[in-house]
Copies of this chain bind each other. A is one copy, B any other.
Amino acid sequence: MEIAKFSIPEIIFGRGAIKYAALCTKRLGGERPMVVSDPGLRQAGWVSCLFEVLEKEGLQWCYYEDVVSNPRDTQVTKGASFYLENKADVIIALGGGSPMDAAKGIAIVASNGGRIHDYEGANRINRPLPPMVFLPSTAGSGADISQFAIITDTSRHLKMTIVSRTLVPNISIIDPLLLTTKPHNLVLAAAIDALSHAIEAHVSIIASPFTELQSAKAIEIISSYLPRAYQDPSLEVLEALSIASTAAGMAFSNAGLGADHALAHSIGGMFDTLHGEVHSILLPAVMRFNLDWALPKMAHIGRILTRKTWKSDRKMALLGIESLENLFLSLGTKQRLREIMPDPSYLPLICRMAAGDICLLTNPRPATWEDLLSICEEIW
C-alpha cells in the first residue's frame, strides 16, 4: 500500500441535530455567520429554523440564497463579495450539493482572492479558509464531508472540479429530518449519486483500507434501501441513506472518483442536468469498462449487490452490474444518454472535456477521450 491519507470533518449526526448549529459556530470562533442556502429550503421552513437557532445564541447572521442547481462561478463571485461586505466570520451552508459547493467556492474566493477558476484542479488553495459548518439537506452529494467542490464555469459550459484538503468543512451537522421535505425524485437521485460515489471510490486506484470499509458499507446500505427511497422514504429510510451517504463521502473524498463522475461533470456543465440523474445511465457502462482492471473489487461489489457468492470473480462482478441495471430499471430512472441530451453530435466534445477532469485520474482503467466516447456511444 502507498501512503494513504484520510481526512473527514467532525460529524454530529441525528434527528434534530440542527440545534447544534449555533454552538458549533461559536466553538469555531464565529459571531457573524453567513448562511448559504436556497429558496427551496427557505420555503420548506428550514432557513428560518436555522435563524432561530442562531439568534438564540446571539449570533448576527447574514443570508445568501442566489444559488441554483449546478452552482455558477458568477454566484460564487457575488457570494464572496457579500461575505466580505457583511464582515462574516463563519460560513454555514444549509442545503444539497449546490448550496454546499457554492459555499465552498465563496469560502475560497473570500479568503484567497481572485476568481474561482484560479483554483480548478488539485491543491491550489494556499491561504486558510473561513471556518465552515455544513448542514446537508440531501443524502447524496457528500459535499459536507468531502474535499471536493464542483462549480460551473458559465463561459466554458463545464463543471470545474476543485480538490483540496482545506475544503473539508470543519463540522458537518447531519440531521435526517431535513430530508423529509425533499421530493421523492430528489431523494432517489441523491441516493444514486451516493451509490456512484461509493462504487467509484471502492475501485479507485488510491483506495485504502480506511476508504474501502466506508465504500463497501455505503454500497450495502444504499442498494438495500433504494427501492424504499423511491416508494416510501420514511424517516428510517432517510436516516439509513444519510448514514450511507456520509460513509460514501468519507470514501470518495479520500479515494477519489472515476470515469462516471468525469463524464457526469462534463454532461452536467453542458446541459445543466440534475447530477443524480446521470449515474443510472453512466455507472453500469463505466463498471463494464473497468471490469478487468479491478476484478476482485468489482466481484466484492457484486457480492454486496446480489447477496450471492460464486467462485468466479468475473461471474460475480458481471452479476453485480446486471443487478444494478435491473435495480435502476425497476426504479424507472433514465437509461440512455438520449434522454438527457438533444443530439449525439455533442458526445466528442463532452468526452474531450471529461478526459481532462481530475476524477479520471483515479479511475482503475486509464481512459482516453476516445475510450469515453465508446462508452457514451454504447449507452446513447
Q: List residues of A (8-47) whose CB comes within 8 Å of B's CBs.
A: 8, 10-17, 20
Residue of B nearest to A244 (CB): B209
Given contact pairs A213-B213, A213-B217, A247-B213, A4 touches B14 in the complex (Cβ within 8 A): yes
Selected from B3, B14, B213, the residue in CB contact (under 8 A) with A13 is B3
A346 is an interface residue with CB less than 8 A from chain B: no
Q: Mark out the residues of chain A between 187 and 240 whose CB falls within 8 Å of any chain B CB in the assembled complex.
A: 208-210, 213-214, 217, 239
Interface size on A, residues (CB 8 A): 28
- Whether a CB of chain B sits under 8 angstroms from the CB of A2 is yes
Is the CB of A7 closer than 8 A to any CB of chain B? yes
For A246, what are the chain B residues with a Cβ–Cβ distance below 8 Å? 210
Residues of B within 8 A of A4 (CB): 11-14
A5 within 8 A of B: yes
Q: In the complex, what distance in Å separates the CA atom of A5 from the CA atom of B20?
A: 11
Whether, in the assembled complex, A6 has its beta carbon less than 8 Å from a beta carbon of chain B, the answer is: yes
Q: Which residues of B contact A3 (CB under 8 A)?
A: 12-17, 20
A170: shortest Cβ distance to chain B, in Å?
A: 11
| Cα–Cα, bound, A13→B243 (Å) | 25
List CB contacts (< 8 Å) of A223-279 with chain B: 239, 243, 246-247
- Output the least CB separation between A24 and chain B (Å): 11
Q: Please give, as numbers and ranges, the residues of chain B lying within 8 Å of A5 by CB-CB distance.
A: 10-13
A247 to B6, CA, bound (A): 12
Report B-chain residues with C-beta under 8 Å of the C-beta of A11.
4-7, 210
Q: Please give me the residue from chain B that is nearest to A240 by CB atom.
A: B209
A57 CB to nearest chain B CB (Å)? 17
Partner of A14, one of B2, B17, B239: B2
Task: Report the separation of the CA atoms of residues A210 and B4 in the bound assembly, to the nearest whole angstrom.
Answer: 20
User: Measuring CB to CB, which residues of chain A are less than 8 angstroms from any residue of chain B?
Assistant: 1-8, 10-17, 20, 165, 208-210, 213-214, 217, 239, 243, 246-247
Closest 10 CB pairs of A and B: A3-B14, A6-B11, A7-B10, A4-B13, A209-B243, A5-B12, A213-B217, A3-B17, A4-B14, A1-B14
5 A-B pairs (CB sep. < 8 Å): A1-B13, A1-B239, A3-B20, A4-B12, A6-B11
Instruction: Other than A4-B14, A7-B11, give 16 A-B pairs with Cβ distance below 8 A.
Output: A1-B14, A1-B239, A3-B13, A3-B15, A3-B17, A5-B10, A5-B11, A5-B12, A5-B13, A6-B13, A7-B10, A8-B8, A13-B208, A13-B210, A213-B214, A213-B217
